[in-house]
Amino acid sequence: MRISVLGLGYVGCVSAACLAGLGHEVIGVDVNQVKVDLVNDGRAPVVEERIGELIAEVVRTGALRATGDVREAVMGSEVSLVCVGTPSEPNGSLCTTYLERVAEQIGAAVAGRGGRHTVVFRSTMLPGTCLNLLVPILEKHAGGTAGTDFGVAVNPEFLREGTSVRDFFDPPKTVIGELDPASGDVVAALYEGLPGEVFRVPVPTAEAIKYADNAFHGLKIGFANELGAVCQALGVDSHQVMDVFLADRKLNISPAYLRPGFAFGGSCLPKDLRSLVHAAQRADVSVPILSHVLPSNSDHLQRAVELVERTGKRRVGLFGLSFKPGTDDLRESPLVELAERLFGKGYELRIYDPNVNLSRLLGANREYIETRLPHLAQLLAQSVGEVLDHAEVCVVGTRDPAVLSALPHGDDPVIVDLVHLPDADARRAEPGYAGLAW
């Protein structure tokens, strides 16, 4: 199939490369020329396992190319996959500006195109957004009726940054919200041959399923971290508690997101919880559990600040800055928040994150770092050794092998462990070790 992928960010570039890898002919579109140029050069605009090799390969074979022109892409394809961002508005509501703009552009291109085109929304959006907001925009600009003159479907994305290529080829599930069966058939054909169950549901149900996933992930992490903090205060090993809790086969609970560790972050969980709670409040639905997941997460982050304060040291080395290992994504990273709180308290900070260094070099994240985080950019070190030379206390927020193998034992520097290091049990006996949840 000939496919346009609108938005070459974390979701779009992985979807574009993987669909090209499945044998489709893909044109990626982005308003950011740096990303378009990187893809056409056969290089990935994001740091992710396997994405660099895959993009190099599919660009070399001609299965993937990129452009800045939505019209050109839509005219040359049967399907558009919309992967533009849906960040939080300042009041917590979902920002639909990019979706609206892209719906106008696709609608206008569909108007000038013969044959049926199907518009598939992969971006996360609240139930009702597609049918009440985007379909009217598409119909207005296309001059036709959705479900008859062109297809519309919602196909939420369940990839996890850090393992997104693997997740694409082995998805936990495929959810197709179809306006009409023909639209659903087009989406099903995109992923033909991939494993996992396919669920064909009404459009608003598909939109809501993504929120069920992300709200539950946030809730699980908050639960594990609160339990970890209480156990620690009471002198109990929370990891042993969770090992036994999760071993109960009758409960059949997935261990994912249930290991006490550091706060969650990223571009999805916080903003999706925020917009879900905002939507509930607007609908006059009381959601005390969901409303307290983010405050719980923020309290947990503060516990890490207090651990550093308790060491009484001033020169801090921070390992890890992106929101989790395996990605360069800094959006709403809890380690960025931690660095800012420490920086604001006057700690002398040096930070090492190999993925952030790499993406700064590639250029894709350079603008984000230089415009949003200039105060931290100047603290970035080029090597583990540079940070170790500086630090009286090392805050470990990553399990990057290069960091783990270089971490000294003893009490100089003090180790503040946010990730439950593989040798945490042994380190617990050392005077210079403080764990966030152990």
Q: Which is nearer to ligand NAD, 32 or 311 (CB)?
A: 32
Task: Please indicate if the annotation marks 210 as binding a ligand.
Answer: yes
Task: Please indicate if the annotation marks 324 as binding a ligand.
Answer: yes
| Smallest separation (angstroms) from ligand NAD to the CB of 186 | 20
Q: How far apart are CA 146 and CA 273, in angstroms?
A: 30
What residues pair up with 101 in beta bridges, in sequence order?
none
CA 307 to chain centre: 27
Task: Please indicate if the annotation marks 141 as binding a ligand.
Answer: no
What string of DSSP letters covers 87-142? Answer: -B-TTSPBP-HHHHHHHHHHHHHHHT--S--EEEE-S---TTIIIIIIHHHHHHHH
Q: Which is nearer to ligand NAD, 9 or 320 (CB)?
A: 9
Q: Which is nearer to ligand NAD, 238 or 275 (CB)?
A: 275
Q: How far apart are CA 121 and CA 7, in angstroms?
A: 11
| Smallest separation (angstroms) from ligand NAD to the CB of 33 | 10
Phi, psi of 296 (to 5 degrees): -60, -40
Q: From the candidates 13, 130, 231, 268, give the one annotated as an active-site residue.
A: 268
Task: Please indicate if the annotation marks 337 as binding a ligand.
Answer: no
Q: Which is nearer to ligand NAD, 297 or 359 (CB)?
A: 359
N-term to C-term CA, the chain: 51
| Smallest separation (angstroms) from ligand NAD to the CB of 157 | 4
**Closest listed residue to residue 164, CA positions, set 380, 10, 292, 278:** 10
Q: How far apart are CA 358 and CA 343, in angstroms?
A: 23
Do you know the residue count of the chain? 438
SS3 assignment, position 159: coil
Task: Please indicate if the annotation marks 161 as binding a ligand.
Answer: yes
Burial (CB < 10 A; 0-12, 13-18, 19+), residue 66, is buried
Q: How far apart are CA 418 and CA 420, in angstroms?
A: 6
Q: How far apart are CA 284 and CA 42, in angstroms?
A: 49
Positions touching ligand NAD (CB under 6 A) are 6-12, 29-32, 35, 70, 83-86, 98, 101-102, 105, 123-124, 157, 159, 161, 267-268
Q: Which is nearer to ligand NAD, 98 or 262 (CB)?
A: 98
- Whether 11 and 82 have beta carbons less than 8 Å apart is answered as no
Task: Please indicate if the annotation marks 371 as binding a ligand.
Answer: no
Q: Is 95 a catalytic residue?
A: no
Q: Which is nearer to ligand NAD, 272 or 400 (CB)?
A: 272
Cis bond upstream, residue 422 (ω within 30): no
Task: Please indicate if the annotation marks 140 as binding a ligand.
Answer: no
| Smallest separation (angstroms) from ligand NAD to the CB of 233 | 33
| Smallest separation (angstroms) from ligand NAD to the CB of 35 | 5
SS3 assignment, position 216: helix
| Smallest separation (angstroms) from ligand NAD to the CB of 127 | 14
Q: How far apart are CA 169 and CA 133, in angstroms?
A: 31
The residue number with the shortest CB distance to ligand NAD is: 9
Task: Please indicate if the annotation marks 225 as binding a ligand.
Answer: yes
Binding site for GDP-alpha-D-mannuronate: which residues? 161, 210, 214, 217, 225, 257, 259, 262, 265, 324
Active site amino acids: 268
Binding site for NAD(+): which residues? 10-11, 30, 35, 86, 124, 271, 331
